[in-house]
Amino acid sequence: MSVKLGLPSKGRLQEASVEWLAARGVNVERADEGREYAGRITGVEGVELQLLSAAEIPLELAAGRIHLGVTGEDLIRETIPGWEAKVDLGPALGFGHADLIVAVPAIWVDVETLHDLDAAAAQFRRRHGRRLRIATKYHSLARSFLTARGVADYRLVDSQGATEATALNLTAEAIIDITSSGETLRANHLKPLADGLILASEARLCRSLTAPTDAADAAVLAALRSRIGA
């Protein structure tokens, strides 16, 4: 057995993760200048590296196939039902910042808050005979947020990419998506609601609560924890 650490297989999140770990004496060595999805961990004994797509890391943590993994808090909360029993979020890493927000067309000058959105949804249903559409890929987080705040008469429509363009394409009236700078929102004629922040997410070094851990693994995890806090 060995302790399995999952990292994103490419992109900004991988680079930042590698830097963050290196600063704590845990080094990721990639063969083949990073083109091959393999590599190894040096600086600490008994840790095996797994390079995974960002979307897989929460699932692997929850299933207990990796012990540690870097992923966004938003993905853990969205994709793992009952995540609290399966994954410890661990330390925030200071990168991968993304706010999950509710945004509406900027031209809706009458809508500033969730109260307004709810009233606009009632009016929309009365006038159009159907529910106001909100495009998102974060169905679970979106639904529980809107339910807790008593927003009614909306309907979630699935959007797995280019969510900001759905209103422009007439497939939705509003969106729930992640934003970092807000520039994409503005470019797509959208604005965030004043009280529409669902989650301020960033990258986390998460620990699986379900991964089988023998005595040797436990010792490695304890040694790691003293270095990286996870």
Partner 1 sequence: MAAARAYLTGGRIGADLDRLSALRARIMARLTGAGAARVEPETLQPADLLLDLYGEDIRARAYIVEDPSAGELALRPDFTVPVARLHMAGGADPARYAYEGLVWRRQPPGSDRPSEYLQAGIELIGGADPAAEEAEVFALIAAALEGAEAAPLTGDLGVVFAAIAAMETTEPRRAALRRHVWRPARFHALLERYADPPAPSPTRAALLGADRAGRIDAIAAAGRIIGARGEAEILERLDALTEDAATPPLEAGEKAMIEAVLAVKGRSDEALARLRAMARAPMHPALDRMERRLDALADLGVDAGALPFDAAFGRGLEYYDGFVFEFRSARAGLPPLGGGGRYDALTAILGGGAGAPAVGGIVRPEALLAAGAAA
| Residues in contact with partner 1 by the rule CB under 8 A | 81-82, 85, 105-110, 112, 115, 118-120, 122-124, 127-128, 130-133, 139-140, 143, 146-147, 149-150, 152-156, 167-168, 170, 172-174, 188-190, 194
Looking at residue 177, its amino acid is: D
Tell which residue, 178, 217, 203, has the closest CA to residue 3.
Answer: 217
For the CB of residue 36, give the shortest distance to partner 1 in the complex, in Å. Answer: 36
Q: Which is nearer to partner 1, 44 or 167 (CB)?
A: 167
For the CB of residue 94, give the shortest distance to partner 1 in the complex, in Å. Answer: 30
Q: Which is nearer to partner 1, 168 or 216 (CB)?
A: 168
**Are the CB atoms for 70 and 203 separated by under 8 Å?**
yes
Q: Which is nearer to partner 1, 20 or 124 (CB)?
A: 124
* Cβ neighbour number for residue 81 with a 10 Å cutoff: 9
**Are the CB atoms for 141 and 201 separated by under 8 Å?**
no
For the CB of residue 82, give the shortest distance to partner 1 in the complex, in Å. Answer: 3
Q: Which is nearer to partner 1, 97 or 143 (CB)?
A: 143
For the CB of residue 159, give the shortest distance to partner 1 in the complex, in Å. Answer: 13
- State how far the Cα of 72 lies from the Cα of 57, in Å rounded to an integer: 9
- State how far the Cα of 153 lies from the Cα of 3, in Å rounded to an integer: 48
CA 158 to chain centre: 16
For the CB of residue 10, give the shortest distance to partner 1 in the complex, in Å. Answer: 30
Tell which residue, 90, 17, 77, has the closest CA to residue 52.
Answer: 17
Q: Which is nearer to partner 1, 50 or 159 (CB)?
A: 159
Across-strand partners of 102? Answer: 176
Q: Which is nearer to partner 1, 137 or 139 (CB)?
A: 139
Q: Cβ contacts of residue 120 below 8 Å, gap of 6+?
A: 104, 108, 110, 111, 132
For the CB of residue 220, give the shortest distance to partner 1 in the complex, in Å. Answer: 29
For the CB of residue 226, give the shortest distance to partner 1 in the complex, in Å. Answer: 32
Q: Which is nearer to partner 1, 30 or 131 (CB)?
A: 131
- With vertex at residue 177, the alpha carbon angle to CA 102 and CA 93, rounded to the nearest 5 degrees, is 110
